[in-house]
Amino acid sequence: MKIIAIGRNYAEHAKELNNPIPSTPVIFMKPDTALLKDNKPFYHPDFSEDIHHEIEIVLKISKEGKHVNEKFATSYFEEIALGVDFTARDIQQRHKEKGLPWELAKAFDGSAPVSNFVPKSKFADIYNLNFRLDINQETRQQGNTKDLLFSFEKIIAFVSKYITLKKGDLIFTGTPEGVGKINIGDRLEGYLGDEKLLDFYVK
């Protein structure tokens, strides 16, 4: 099982970090050891002073796909979830400046909390779907899938040109604006539509 993540997939988020709007998807990966399930606590690592939250919609791949045509890509995922792409922004910034890869900033243990999955058929329109992250009962990030730069289908078509997608793989589809630092003791609650799917603490 692998985790693929898309960077800069909401224009306002790309802008808040002074990044250009990409013309093709920006992708990176996290190992299976990054996965954090069942609302278990996230243990803040001591190698970063600036771990950021990035609330994202996560797709679960439902069948093997290679060179998937965008027209058929919708049949490659049946369920969606909420996830947090925890990012050590201080490490990422240093690595970006040197042109180095992002793994130490993105792929560390527990950096990919994921909620339970919900059938996509449960939602009237997955391209007009609100999601948000509250921290200590205050809304910090709010997004809607109508603002995605690259649709779920475009992502699947693009990624599968390079990397075979397998059943059970997860795709983090990008974060809206409002990213920021988390602190020990914080409570993170994530909502997909009206339903609270994430609820965990930083320890």
Residue type, 88: A
202 secondary structure, DSSP code: B
CB of 69 to Mg ion, least distance (A): 26
Alpha-carbon span 150 to 57, nearest angstrom: 13
For the CA atoms of 174, 117, 140, 3, what is the dihedral angle to 10 degrees?
-40
Q: Which is nearer to Mg ion, 34 or 194 (CB)?
A: 34
CB of 128 to Mg ion, least distance (A): 21
Residue whose entry in the numeric block shows the structure tokens 């990213």: 179
Query: Which is nearer to Mg ion, 85 or 167 (by Cβ)?
Result: 85
Residues 163-182 contacting Mg ion, CB under 5 A: 175
Residue 54 near Mg ion by CB under 5 A: yes
Does residue 107 interact with Mg ion by CB under 5 A? Answer: no
**Site stretch for Mg ion (CB under 5 A), options 19-27, 38-46, 78-86, 188-196:** 78-86
How far apart (Å, rounded) are the C-alpha atoms in residues 200 and 189?
Answer: 7
Report the residue number, 115 or 175, with the smaller CB distance to Mg ion: 175
**What's the first-to-final CA gap in the chain, in angstroms?**
27
Q: How far is the CB of 75 from Mg ion (least distance, A)?
A: 25
DSSP states of 64-93: -BSS--GGGGGGGEEEEEEEE--EEHHHHH
Which residues between 83 and 102 bind Mg ion (CB under 5 A)?
85
Binding site for Mg ion (CB under 5 A): 54, 85, 175
